[in-house]
Structure 1
């Protein structure tokens, strides 16, 4: 399908015209397998994806056509079926980006359920996810692709409950005879290449149905316990079609795909959406945007491959804005940004460097990736784009007691809620051997609660902060973006993060962390800058801390929990020093969304707990935790 075959989506008028035809009356692929089959039938010899094994050699790549991808998916589906994977079984996927990982992901959805996992998670969180999904097969990078990851999973597989560990090989080059894989008692280790028989055609089982489960995507996991969001095939297929409408790319056109495949954006925006129109994705190294070598070569990559679009998070565009354009990048029309708020400073710097406007989108894993997109030529200040077809998006007030949702008038700010065919099935739950899916705590009255604040006007979404990121100072709500944007306007500031620090009288007060391009600016100068450039007095930070870099998640989102913990720990240590309490170790973390302070140091820890007890945090001491353990044992 080329853009000419797709209904036009260039304006709000097009959106309304689209929705006059019921979605059920459209001839759409409603499973990811059918989506691939249709693409392979129509464009068997067209490249589906290009894989660059090393960002230092951007011209070298491996091509996978649509026809070859379907053949690979069929062969891998038979291999997974031979390992005991059925329609209700999850396959854990935990590897760097490579062509085999993409094929295994689609094969897992075709015969069972794909369960991508962030390789940076600790074993405890991985174990929690594997327990929820019930997976017994784990696909990962073999020793030639990611030796450290392979050894870590080899040693922890038994504790994870994994029975079969499947090793993927790197793309490109003749690797020579593969070394024999290590194993462990009770664990089978095997290379994917040795499992696959290229002879079988078709699937070993009946093709999936639209409402069958397709994927388990975990959310969070960088602090606390990850949740596992459940996508159906219908969720993903309709989302892919919607994204293809908004993107407007066709056969022969391409998109740079640098996000890791455990991220929903990577699968939906840069794998499934291109299948709708015969476009292709470009994968720059197994590490993608996390590869430091990529940035120096990025503009030459654009000149060489001529992509029309790219999809990334704000931090990627901040890095690129600092790289002078040394190549012809005229093909690039749609630099799409999402997954985290876009600072105005990053938007401005990228435009100054490239002459291109960043096109914001908005979405979440529970909405199967995206609910809005900025169309080419339709950038509106303050908006994250026009809502996607067949999704309803509104601002609302939610009655926590009754669970009723009251939709607010156009332009009025409230919690954003979403309904439509891309709202996920729910979160995965487990009780012993019983696994089920429940949406009870997040879908209310048919509306998905996003936790984001904003308003909708003329079908366009405007964000006003995230509820859990708001700094609440004495009942006054402060959007951290107000602080971050002001600091990013300073020429020496390259990154900024604002959070709330615990405060006795106000509950919390704003503080900020920054990374600098030069050490010639002082904290005092930054404080003065903030005072002059933040018009809201309550939002002016009480302290600014300079870091070498702002902590990020694996996909490049600012990691606010680490900043909150650092701010709280410093606050508590300073107060204990003021009270003459020394020798107490202060550890701060998060549990169930709350700050937890652990104090160690014998009797001094008990004194410290008495000093800090009026803060709105959970305080733990060795004596208190020992008493709680004894109570549970009795």
Structure 2
């Protein structure tokens, strides 16, 4: 379907009511992510679908695939998975840096069964539990040429008896004979491209997915040591992708840059699925994406060469780009999108000053598929992360657990309902398939986001901190329990609590607080080394470990993490402002459920202090004293 039913006028916030006057069911959205790809291949068979860069140094030497070629490749890969026994409802694990074969394999996994992307940086213990919970016995993974460390982990998982087959990926554009693969008893190990070459490219031989079928399971931080597995249906993913594509920001000529890892929902929904709706070309950066320093040295030239118009990244990326001299014609870049963690005002302002371009802010979470709100560059709403997307409902409820809805404009916990809200977390499997449970996050179809916010009359969301304990480091969700559990294994540690400390580069970073047994001799530095050896996710290793006489608790004896967050913010700001003349006092206090910094200064220090505080995603106020 095309025309106004599929593509309503969606240019300003006032268009929302007219869009929702038409039922979503009348829009004629594709049945599945596969149907979305097939639609693109039928309409634009010869148009370039993906342009994949081998790495930042070879950005002029991409591998290109048209929509028709991409569909044929997906058929081959999906038919191979089907031959290996993958059926509807069966999971395929994918663990690899981005490359051309991973893009195809992700779509193929959702066609043959469902995709279970994994971050290779997770510990083997966590990966093993995620494989068990998902039921995946087939792993698509980076080979020795692409990511040796990931390849070592994959082999270890196979030797532990967790896999039946490993399909190995090569780097984008790899030539020559690949490295020989090892033999592991009972496990089929082969290069994916070689096996898939003999498969039928014309059609998929198995059962096609339907809208209510599960499409993927994404791991995300939770309240236990092992990451949760959030399930997505095909309807969830297609609908959220359409909500983004429906905006007048994008047309068929919009070239999109993708550089986030495909185990992240943003990479899948924003830069893989949404561009399929209008036949847009996506330029995929090398395997490390934004984590490759060399990419930033060539970034503006890449924008000019490929005429990049849109991109999606976390605030830390834009903080770097705000400091990167523009050495090319970047007039094509119109819609740089930012999300995943709070955007410091200084990053937004500095990026605009350096490039002349306004960032498009967004808000979302894995449990609501990906995106739930976005801003309009020409209609500024200072302090807002955007207006809710069409057909997503939002309300603010009391923080006391009653779910009483609060009046418009009042602050509470943000709740979301609608077609993008996930069906639950995968907690187990039984004879009927995957067992899903909302684990307290779903109440009568409403998702408790764990975020504090207020929503105005037009549906614009203003975040005010988080009710949940997750530490979000540059868009990476960190479960504090993984840090706390590691520190509690030390024989001299009696209690541990991890929180986020404000950080100018990553939004926040994890820090830990502990109490020690009587007579303990261990130092803070030694505890930091202990954590580095035992925290399973490298990104979760605490920056500091601070020893306290006692940890703050509530009146009923529960750990009071807000108090620790206030202490962490105070320590960070005290260090940041230490050498600024005219700073008299710094306080970090708790107001409601938020941390607010108050800095007492002389008039002469105002500009310098504002410049420093503006780099942090925190609330602050200045008090001028004589």
| TM-score, L = length of structure 1 | 0.76
Distance 1:341 1:112 in 2: 35
1:3–1:249 Cα contact (<8 Å) kept: no
SS in 2 for 1:308: strand
1:116-170 CA distances to partner (integer Å, 9 max, x unpaired)?
Answer: 0111111011011001001100000112212222122112323261110110111
In structure 2, the residue matched to 1:525 is: 579
Where in structure 1 are there 5+ consecutive unaligned residues?
472-479, 543-557, 561-634
Distance 1:88 1:535 in 2: 49
1:210–1:233 Cα contact (<8 Å) kept: yes
Distance 1:152 1:505 in 2: 39
Between 1:20-29 and 1:219-228, the stretch displaced more is 219-228
In structure 2, the residue matched to 1:406 is: 404
Check if 1:449 corresponds to 2:503: no
Q: From the superposition, tell whether residues 435 and 528 of structure 1 become closer, same or farther in structure 2 (CA, over 3 Å).
A: farther
2:249–2:335 Cα contact (<8 Å) kept: no
Distance 1:111 1:536 in 2: 50
In structure 1, the residue matched to 2:541 is: none
Distance 1:83 1:347 in 2: 48
Distance 1:160 1:378 in 2: 55
Check if 1:231 corresponds to 2:232: yes
Distance 1:522 1:409 in 2: 38
Check if 1:436 corresponds to 2:435: yes
Give the deviation of 1:186 after TM superposition.
2.0
1:267-306 CA distances to partner (integer Å, 9 max, x unpaired)?
Answer: 0000000001111211111111111111111111111111
Distance 1:465 1:18 in 2: 30
Q: From the superposition, tell whether residues 372 and 160 of structure 1 become closer, same or farther in structure 2 (CA, over 3 Å).
A: farther
Counterpart among 418, 425, 428 of residue 427 in structure 1: 425
Between 1:254-263 and 1:183-192, the stretch displaced more is 183-192
Distance 1:222 1:40 in 2: 42
Distance 1:391 1:527 in 2: 49
1:91-240 equivalences in 2 (<5 Å) = 91-159=92-160, 161-173=162-174, 175-196=175-196, 197-220=198-221, 224-240=225-241
2:586–2:598 Cα contact (<8 Å) kept: no
Distance 2:65 2:216 in 1: 23
In structure 2, the residue matched to 1:607 is: none
Q: From the superposition, tell whether residues 20 and 532 of structure 1 become closer, same or farther in structure 2 (CA, over 3 Å).
A: same
In structure 1, the residue matched to 2:529 is: none
In structure 2, the residue matched to 1:375 is: 376
2:363–2:386 Cα contact (<8 Å) kept: yes
SS in 1 for 2:414: strand
1:30–1:238 Cα contact (<8 Å) kept: no
Distance 1:422 1:289 in 2: 27
Q: From the superposition, tell whether residues 449 and 75 of structure 1 become closer, same or farther in structure 2 (CA, over 3 Å).
A: same
1:356-367 equivalences in 2 (<5 Å) = 356-367=357-368
Check if 1:511 corresponds to 2:567: yes
Check if 1:328 corresponds to 2:315: no
1:108–1:114 Cα contact (<8 Å) kept: yes
1:203-602 equivalences in 2 (<5 Å) = 203-220=204-221, 224-246=225-247, 248-397=249-398, 400=401, 405-430=403-428, 435-457=434-456, 458-469=458-469, 484=502, 507=560, 508-509=563-564, 510-512=566-568, 524-525=578-579, 529=583, 531=585, 539-540=596-597
Q: How many residues align?
A: 522
Give the deviation of 1:494 after TM superposition.
9.3
In structure 2, the residue matched to 1:59 is: 60
1:32-78 CA distances to partner (integer Å, 9 max, x unpaired)?
Answer: 01101111000001111110102012222111111111101111111
Distance 2:201 2:59 in 1: 34
SS in 2 for 1:115: strand
Q: From the superposition, tell whether residues 34 and 435 of structure 1 become closer, same or farther in structure 2 (CA, over 3 Å).
A: closer
Distance 1:90 1:289 in 2: 28
Q: From the superposition, tell whether residues 15 and 172 of structure 1 become closer, same or farther in structure 2 (CA, over 3 Å).
A: same
1:209-250 CA distances to partner (integer Å, 9 max, x unpaired)?
Answer: 110110011102898210000000000111111010236322
Give the deviation of 1:532 after TM superposition.
6.2
C-alpha RMSD of the superposition: 3.2
Give the deviation of 1:6 after TM superposition.
1.8
Distance 1:341 1:325 in 2: 25
In structure 2, the residue matched to 1:49 is: 50
Between 1:191-200 and 1:381-390, the stretch displaced more is 191-200
Where in structure 2 are there 5+ consecutive unaligned residues?
472-498, 514-547, 554-559, 600-615, 619-626
Q: From the superposition, tell whether residues 530 and 290 of structure 1 become closer, same or farther in structure 2 (CA, over 3 Å).
A: farther
SS in 2 for 1:238: helix
